[in-house]
Amino acid sequence: MCRSIKTLREPYVPEVSRADIEAAALQYVRKISGFRAPAAHNAAAFDAAVAAVAEATATLLDQLVVRGGAPQRPAAAG
């Protein structure tokens, strides 16, 4: 599906920034919605979806434990 979204967990990326998470969330919502940029009447829903996906992604990365590796470090504050 979203081939340009980078893997954000260890060992692929040693440190994940908030910008990395938000970029991946934006790409995902663009792909799912079919809009690169939504019309004004859809902007709030689009932005809310990006924020929700980014938050879910940050939670996932914070909770993942990679076998043989160190626990995932929390995402940078931004």
Instruction: Give the tens place of pLDDT for each residue, 1-22.
Output: 556 677 777 667 778 899 999 9
Tens of pLDDT, residues 41-63: 999 999 999 999 999 999 999 89
Q: How many CB atoms lie within 10 A of CB 20?
A: 19
pTM of structure: 0.75
Cβ-Cβ contacts under 8 Å for 17 (sequence gap 6 or more): 75, 76, 78
pLDDT of residue 47: 97
Distance CA 61, CA 48 (A): 20
pLDDT of residue 8: 79
pLDDT of residue 65: 85
Tens of pLDDT, residues 34-43: 999 999 999 9
